[in-house]
Amino acid sequence: MSWKTFSALLARDAHVARRNFLQLLVQTLLQPLLFVFIFGKVMTTSGLMPEAYKSILLPGIMAISMVLAGVQAVSMPLIVEFQFTREIEDRLLAPISTGWVAFEKVVAGMFQSLAAGLVVIPAAWLIIGHGVNLSFAQPVLFAAVALAVAMFAAAGGLALGCSIGQTQIGLMFTLVIAPMIMFGCAYYPWSALASFPILQKVVLINPLVYASEGLRATLAPQFPHLPMMVILPALLALDGLVVAFGLSRFQKKALG
């Protein structure tokens, strides 16, 4: 593997991301931040939601933003690049194996996912104002969870981007992304599903559950959450699975 080639591929993605910076920012952060404003600010200030909800919501919003950013950053360009115009061809002909070209996409997506996560927390905090109670007492664990979430998001984008065509993007959002967000324990802790025992088991197949619960466990440990002994292994297993699946989809799509 040539590091020079790999870093040139990364530089290309960074260059394009910089060029589309504002659009990317709005695309990934506007929706979660609007949600923060309504539920974290309007609803809590009016007394419809308890004050504590602010701190429950923030880690979930971070999880959503990271997953959305990672999935979109990788899948959207890939869908276009694999279309009729085959824009990706030049990179497939770069002197590096096809697997590394795909993995570069994952790494680039991870950066964008992490950036989104790191931007959304202070932005949401600013919107909500006082009453947020987050802890940064476990930086290593927090970093590990954030990295695992970013990897899952970017690899998921790779798998989706290589599996669907341009005409199915809308369908992807209604069919995959929307249910994942709603059942992803982002807007509520997993324990809140206790009164729906079957649903509570079923949502465990949703990767976003581990992302939300993992970030909640490190940022707002005062609230009930899944044990870290479940979250980290689950996230790592998902990472491995989705990366492997995404790479094989990419190989299939790239070669005739």
Partner 1 sequence: MGVGIRTEDLRKVYTSPPPAAAGAAGFSFTASRSRGPAPKGAGGKNAKKPEIVALDGVSLDVQPGEIFGLLGPNGAGKSTTVGVLTTRVRPTGGRAWVGPHEIWKDQVAVKQLIGVVQQRPNLDFALTAREILLFHGAYFAQPARERARRAAELLEEFKLTDRADQMVRGFSGGMMQRISIARALMHDPQVLFLDEPSAGLDPQTKLMLWEIIRSYNRAGKTILLTTHNMEEADALCQRIAIIDHGHIIAQGTPRDLKGSLPGGYLLRLRFSQTSPGLTARLQALPGVREVKTVDGQAADLYADRGGSLIGEIVAAAAAAGAELADVHIAEPSLENLFLHHTGRSLRE
* Alpha carbon separation from 32 to 22, 26, 56 (Å, rounded): 16, 10, 14
Interface residue with partner 1 among 14, 43, 52, 94 (CB under 8 A) is 94
Interface residue with partner 1 among 18, 46, 47, 93 (CB under 8 A) is 93
Instruction: Indicate whether 18 belongs to the interface with partner 1 (CB under 8 A).
Output: no
CB of 175 to partner 1, least distance (A): 23
Give helix then strand counts, H and E, for the chain: 12, 0
CB of 225 to partner 1, least distance (A): 40
Could you give the CA distance from residue 137 to residue 91 in angstroms, rounded to a whole number? Answer: 42
What's the CA angle centered on 63, arms 118 and 242, to 5 degrees?
A: 110
The site string for partner 1 over 53-92 (x = CB under 8 A, - otherwise) reads: ------------------------x------xxxx-xxxx
Structure tokens at 118: 């790191």
Q: How many CB atoms lie within 10 A of CB 91?
A: 20
Interface residue with partner 1 among 36, 68, 76, 96 (CB under 8 A) is 96
CB of 2 to partner 1, least distance (A): 6
* Alpha carbon separation from 43 to 88, 108, 212 (Å, rounded): 46, 36, 21
Interface residue with partner 1 among 8, 43, 127, 169 (CB under 8 A) is 8
CB of 156 to partner 1, least distance (A): 22
Instruction: Indicate whether 9 belongs to the interface with partner 1 (CB under 8 A).
Output: yes
